[in-house]
């Protein structure tokens, strides 16, 4: 049986050659996700931007710096968590990913989540949240853990947060994000081994 890391490498290898949607034509690099596969926490953003497309690593630009700052406040770093996106290739000019692109790319996300099996899934922003909670509003749901039953019948805790990019132009949103991040350590304790 392949190790967890080998299985992740196999998923990454499939993503690296993926041609299933038009984003393959305009990407520089695929951005499969990075971090610790034995983590309790998976963060999920919307899709790679320019810096991420150039480097093949999620959250490397301005939003990534906010994410790092928030992680630091709760004494976590990127080695402690796994970070990925709903779509693994950059939408041109950072437009929103299309429904078809999200649906096609979801198979990779499902494989990653099944492998990592985190205690907490943290969707960052509306697009990522909608994947798990299609009818929710981020303004109402952020900072509130939700227990869902996944397609495979597993109970899973989803903790939606505002996207870190929302903090770039709004200091008040940054405070809200920081408050929501502050709950993460206690949520891990609460839901681990439940
Ligand atoms: N925004 C995202 O949602 N994901 C990234 O990887 C970078 C910016």
Q: What is the pLDDT of residue 154?
A: 87
The structure tokens listed for 14 are 């499939």
The first and second tokens of residue 107, run together, are 């198979």
**pLDDT for position 151:** 77
Report pLDDT for 83.
98
How high is the pLDDT of residue 194?
73
Ranges of the chain whose pLDDT falls below 50: none
Show the ligand 1 pocket: residues with CB < 6 angstroms. Answer: 45-49, 52, 58-59, 63, 85
For ligand 1, mutation pick of 62, 95, 165 (most atoms within 8 Å of CB): 165
pTM of the prediction? 0.97
Domains: count for the chain: 1
Q: Which atom of ligand 1 is nearest to the CA of 63?
A: 8
Q: CB of 28 within 8 A of CB of 104?
A: no
pLDDT tens track for 70-127:
999 999 999 999 999 999 999 999 999 999 999 999 999 999 999 999 999 999 999 9
The helix (run of H) or strand (run of E) holding residue 141 is: helix 138-141
Give the distance (Å) from ligand 1 centre to CA of residue 152.
27
Residue 186 belongs to a domain with what CATH number? 3.40.470.10
Give the burial string for 155-177 (b: 16+ CB within 10 Å, else e): ebbbbbbbbbbbbeeeeebbebb
CA of 59 to the centre of ligand 1 (A): 5
**Distance, CA 88 to ligand 1 centroid (Å)?**
10
pLDDT above 90 covers a percentage of the chain that reads: 95
- Looking at ligand 1, which atom is closest to the CA of residue 85? 4
1 Cα–ligand 1 center, Å: 33
Give, rounded to a whole angstrom, the gap between the first and last alpha carbons of the chain.
27
Residue 43 DSSP one-character state = E
Q: Could you tell me the distance, in angstroms and rounded to a whole number, from the CA of residue 121 to the centre of ligand 1? A: 16
Domain of 186? Answer: 4-191
Nearest in space to 86 (alpha carbons), one of 70, 104, 71, 66: 104
């Amino acid at each position: 049986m392949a190790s967890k890391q080998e299985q992740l490498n196999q998923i990454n290898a499939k993503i690296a050659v993926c041609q299933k949607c038009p984003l393959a034509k305009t990407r520089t690099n695929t951005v499969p996700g990075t971090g610790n596969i034995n983590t309790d926490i998976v963060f999920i953003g919307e899709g790679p931007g320019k810096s991420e497309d150039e480097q093949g690593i999620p959250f490397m630009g301005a939003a990534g710096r906010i994410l790092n700052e928030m992680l630091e406040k709760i004494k976590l770093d990127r080695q402690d968590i796994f970070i990925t996106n709903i779509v693994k290739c950059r939408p041109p000019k950072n437009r929103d990913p299309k429904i078809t692109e999200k649906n096609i790319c979801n198979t990779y996300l499902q494989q990653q989540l099944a492998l990592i099996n985190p205690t907490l899934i943290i969707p960052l922003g509306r697009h990522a949240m909608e994947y798990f909670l299609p009818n929710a509003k981020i303004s109402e749901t952020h900072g509130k853990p939700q227990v869902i039953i996944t397609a495979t019948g597993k109970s899973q805790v989803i903790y939606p947060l505002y996207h870190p990019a929302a903090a770039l132009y709004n200091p008040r949103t940054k405070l809200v994000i920081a408050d929501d991040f502050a709950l993460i350590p206690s949520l891990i304790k609460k839901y681990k081994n439940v």
